[in-house]
Chains A and B, each alone.
Chain A
């Protein structure tokens, strides 16, 4: 079953085409990677999927709900995390989780918070203001907020940006576990190629708002004759696709 369907999605700001007629689908349980340089259209695509931005044209369906007409029905079953969108920093971690638990009408909220405290190891700082946490702790809290409602679709914008390798690895492991246990569909925008290779079943390569290539990480590596996605990314970013394919 398709959890996300995107058809002909376009976003134009005046003369600037931020997202140019992109189409893709994500099946339930898939992890789709959105890869691309700065300004490639990753964040704009995610913002449209969340209903934060109205597309210029195209259609988005999430969990069977048309986001143009019925976005709130889908939003209660999705969630989102980004290091660029903060949680109220004067509220404690627990208060933040309580606020979002109420906003998502989570049943048995206290129990859910206890589970997240245990699974994401938040206990040591659960009563500390969010603004006083380290980057790694903030990321874990942001992830707890994103999982508060057991999302069926999870949108992650650079979830491990600015994390040390150890914390980043912990976050990735946790995401893998959550996806495997819950069957959640994840859309992941990232600059971290190793992360994409590890987590994603399918990758969309974006450049100047367009999908310029797509496939599983293995497919892309094979097609470009490269050993890691970073080289594939550079081939695409620097328009070396043809040369790379010929070499392959």
Chain B
């Protein structure tokens, strides 16, 4: 099993090994985001007092952690679409690689892509804006894990839609997560949202992670209740996404979509 998972990961790693534009693309957007929001935070800190400097820090923390979600989602979806674009899915699906092994390989690629993409931005924030995300301590790992699981759940949903609707669903891989950003409390607390939207927001694991991040950054308090809620919601999200994927994969095998996917 591990060898088959490695086989598919190796296929993607071999691609990155000799394609510098692909490597640049991984970190381009996170670094660009960090520059924009880093200067904004610096500006706020220079014009006003400590309270807005803290706001700047939460802004940078939000940007970096949101990139984790975004990159993990895109890492999985785009790796799947790479197979589709190269018209290779037919060979992959008739190999002994089980669907869950394929997902495991895509998750492996998502982890690699996320860290290659976000690590330069984290280092940039530390070097240029004196914002050290790692100062959050070991709890940062739990934030990372939760945001990545949510990214995978959304990515599995996107892949399921591609299996169902073909290439027409591809653009969702780039845009779908932005639709959840306003409700994820990335830059502001859930309480800012209108009352009727707050339950929806609190159903997102990311909202709990960002509430927890603000609490840790501003008050130095780790909100275990939010972390527990994020984990619990992620279990529900990833399970629902896995069921959706399994159903769409079966449907694609019935409808013949696996043969013509990407066309």
Q: List B contacts of A91 (CB < 8 A).
A: 11, 14-15
Query: Beta-carbon contacts of A75-109 to B below 8 Å, as 1s and 0s?
Result: 11010101001111111100100111111110000
Q: List B contacts of A99 (CB < 8 A).
A: 7-8, 10-11, 14
Stretch at the interface among A45-53, A179-187, A206-214: A45-53
Stretch at the interface among B180-188, B237-245, B250-258: B250-258
Q: List A contacts of B8 (CB < 8 A).
A: 99, 102-103
Report B38-93 residues with CB < 8 Å from chain A CB: 86-88, 90-93
With contact pairs A53-B253, A145-B91 given, residues A104 and B15 touching in the complex (Cβ less than 8 Å):
no
A51-B93, A86-B88, A95-B14 known, 16 other contacts, Cβ within 8 Å: A51-B253, A52-B90, A52-B259, A53-B253, A53-B254, A53-B256, A54-B254, A75-B95, A78-B94, A85-B90, A86-B86, A86-B87, A87-B88, A91-B14, A92-B14, A105-B3
Report A48-77 residues with CB < 8 Å from chain B CB: 50-54, 72, 75-76
Q: Nearest Cβ distance between residue A105 and chain B, in whole angstroms?
A: 5
Interface residue B97 (Cβ < 8 Å from any Cβ of A): yes
Q: How far is the CA of A150 from the CA of B63 in the complex (A)?
A: 51
B96 and A105 within 8 A (CB): yes
With contact pairs A47-B259, A90-B15 given, residues A103 and B94 touching in the complex (Cβ less than 8 Å):
no
A88 and B86 within 8 A (CB): yes
Q: Nearest Cβ distance between residue B23 and chain A, in whole angstroms?
A: 14
Q: How far is the CA of A43 from the CA of B260 in the complex (A)?
A: 12
B90 and A82 within 8 A (CB): yes
Interface size, B (range): 20 to 34
Q: Nearest Cβ distance between residue A86 and chain B, in whole angstroms?
A: 4
Write the residues of chain B forming the contact surface with A, with a CB cutoff of 8 angstroms: 3-4, 6-8, 10-11, 14-15, 18-19, 86-88, 90-98, 250, 253-256, 258-259
Q: List B contacts of A75 (CB < 8 A).
A: 94-96
Q: How far is the CA of A76 from the CA of B94 in the complex (A)?
A: 9
A47 and B96 within 8 A (CB): no
B96 and A72 within 8 A (CB): yes
A50 and B15 within 8 A (CB): no
A51 and B94 within 8 A (CB): yes
Contact of A47 among B91, B97, B256 (CB under 8 A): B256
Q: List B contacts of A90 (CB < 8 A).
A: 15, 18-19, 86
Contact of B94 among A52, A88, A89, A101 (CB under 8 A): A52
Report the nearest B residue to A90, measured CB to CB. Answer: B15
Q: How far is the CA of A89 from the CA of B93 in the complex (A)?
A: 18
Q: List B contacts of A95 (CB < 8 A).
A: 10-11, 14
Q: How far is the CA of A100 from the CA of B91 in the complex (A)?
A: 9
Q: List B contacts of A54 (CB < 8 A).
A: 250, 253-254
A to B CB contacts below 8 Å, 24 in the list: A47-B259, A51-B94, A52-B90, A52-B253, A52-B259, A75-B96, A85-B87, A85-B88, A86-B88, A87-B88, A88-B15, A88-B88, A90-B86, A91-B14, A91-B15, A95-B11, A98-B14, A99-B7, A99-B14, A102-B6, A103-B4, A103-B8, A103-B96, A105-B4
Q: List A contacts of B15 (CB < 8 A).
A: 88, 90-91
Q: List A contacts of B6 (CB < 8 A).
A: 102
Report A98-128 residues with CB < 8 Å from chain B CB: 98-105
Q: Nearest Cβ distance between residue B251 and chain A, in whole angstroms?
A: 9
With contact pairs A50-B94, A86-B86 given, residues A13 and B256 touching in the complex (Cβ less than 8 Å):
yes
Report the nearest B residue to A106, measured CB to CB. Answer: B3
A80 and B3 within 8 A (CB): no
Q: Nearest Cβ distance between residue A55 and chain B, in whole angstroms?
A: 9
Q: List A contacts of B259 (CB < 8 A).
A: 43, 47, 52-53
Q: How far is the CA of A157 from the CA of B90 in the complex (A)?
A: 12
Q: List A contacts of B255 (CB < 8 A).
A: 13
Q: Nearest Cβ distance between residue A10 and chain B, in whole angstroms?
A: 13
Q: Nearest Cβ distance between residue B258 and chain A, in whole angstroms?
A: 5
Q: List B contacts of A52 (CB < 8 A).
A: 90, 93-94, 253, 258-259
B88 and A102 within 8 A (CB): no
Report the nearest A residue to B92, measured CB to CB. Answer: A103
Contact of B95 among A86, A92, A100 (CB under 8 A): A100
Q: Nearest Cβ distance between residue A170 and chain B, in whole angstroms?
A: 22
Query: Beta-carbon contacts of A212-228 to B below 8 Å, as 1s and 0s?
Result: 00000000000000000
Report the nearest B residue to A85, measured CB to CB. Answer: B90
Q: How far is the CA of A51 from the CA of B250 in the complex (A)?
A: 11
